[in-house]
Amino acid sequence: MSVAITMIGTGYVGLVTGACFAEMGHDVICVDRDEAKVELLRRNVMPIYEPGLAELVSANVAAGQLRFSTDVSASVKGRDAVFLAVGTPSETGSGRADLRFVFKAAFDVAMEVDKPTVIVTKSTVPVGTNRKLANLMATDLQPRHRVSVASNPEFMREGAAISDFMEPDRIVFGSDDASAIEVLERIYKPLTDKGAKALVTGLETAELIKYAANAFLAVKVTFINEIADLCEKVGADVEVLATGVGLDARIGKAFLKAGPGWGGSCFPKDTKALIATAQDFGSQVRTVESAVSANDARKRAMAGRIASLCGGNLAGKKLAIFGLTFKGGTDDMRESPSLDIVPLLQALGARVHGHDPSNPRSLSTDLPDLIHHVDPLEAVDGAEALVILTDWPEFRSYEMSAVAKRMAQPILIDTRNMYDGAAVLAAGFKRYYPIGRAPVI
């Protein structure tokens, strides 16, 4: 049965969630205060890069299931559920999640609804936030119509967001309010009917599941990165090792991929926010604290590693970087390793040219001194080394012999272990440096 849903916030999560709910048969309005974003969407231009999203959005707009608006007041009237999918960035300094957008949106919604409604928090928010929202509704605000509160954290990965949403490992419904849970169950019925597991919890547990899941994944990646460093020292191969370790069903093979350090729109801010929550409640999450500091150090150390593989002196040298976003399949630059590594290389005197298949919109402000090329061959022209920072699958299909020919020094530093060393040398590279395994020279 169709549910009338409004999404407040039409970013990576709000837009994908809204389009997927529409595809599931619900009547969806996606609202954003960013007029330029809404205008693009009305013209069927996606403000973000996400595979399959443009097709999903245009099909559901054409079917009358999905609309876009900048008007919160009009868009929350007559709706069964209003989802909050606004940003929760880190507060500068404290690492705590900045909840201003969440509370502002919840306040605006509560003041404007014209019938009993559920506010569902999709944004990642620290423990206690939904309880505060529920208390706010019950006491201070007292909206004219009953507003219940539920937590429904999101686990999608950018780059695979639609399939993650439509075929989730689990869905979490957190609320103390039976009517709110009932609305969520109706919304997700098309997925649970197909076998998706829904876990019903209290508010605090739902909130903490999201942070614990992200922190665990961040710790797992940090762990394999440190093991990769040890592999280099002892002559072991981290790729083979990860297979050997990951085949243990208690461990699992996902997230055992060594790299230049994690970044992105979630892990850095969510690990910091979890540490802050633990401090607030007099608890300790030392594994997470160590992972954050080891990861920060790793990203900084990458620049030194690249410099030493290029002979120690980068002054005046041209370096080419393939992949600037935090991972393949997204144009998201938030806390990408490139934001640490590129400025450090530039500080060592390198002229850095880059190529990223998503041609990120925010590049000119994020990395103002980097010269971006849509054509990968222009990026490597005359370069002293090529560094792979992001695991875009496209890179595997590039003609590596053409790449090597255009370079001054055909050296490949692959921080994602994307290539086969022997094939790279056969294509004309002189040296290939992967992570956590022996170089091929």
Query: Which residues are known catalytic residues?
Result: 266
User: At its nearest, how many Å lie between ligand NAD and the CB of residue 1?
Assistant: 27
Encode burial over 63-93: b for 16+ CB neighbours within 10 A, e otherwise: eebbbbbbebeebbeebbbbbbbbbbebbee
CB of 2 to ligand NAD, least distance (A): 23
Sign of CA dihedral 170, 163, 322, 340: negative
**Distance of closest approach, residue 15 Cβ to ligand NAD, in angstroms:** 8
Q: How long is the chain? A: 441
Residues that bind ligand NAD (CB under 6 A): 8-14, 31-34, 37, 72, 85-88, 101, 104-105, 123-124, 154, 156, 158, 265-266
4 vs 160 by CB, closer to ligand NAD: 160
Q: Identify how many contiguous H helices and E strands the chain contains and give both numbers.
A: 17, 14
- For residue 128, CA distances in Å to 141, 206, 208 come to 18, 10, 10
3-state class of 396 per DSSP?
helix
Distance CA 256, CA 254 (A): 6
CB nearer to ligand NAD: pick between 9 and 174: 9
3-state secondary structure of 83: strand
Q: Which residue is at the shortest CB distance from ligand NAD?
A: 11
Smallest gap from Cβ 327 to ligand NAD, in A, equals 10
Taking the complex as a whole, how short is the minimal distance between the CB of residue 133 and ligand NAD, in angstroms? 14
Residues 430 and 400: beta-carbon distance below 8 Å: no
Contact 424/400 with Cβ under 8 angstroms? yes
Query: Is 415 exposed, middle or buried, given 0-12, 13-18 or 19+ CB atoms closer than 10 A?
Result: buried
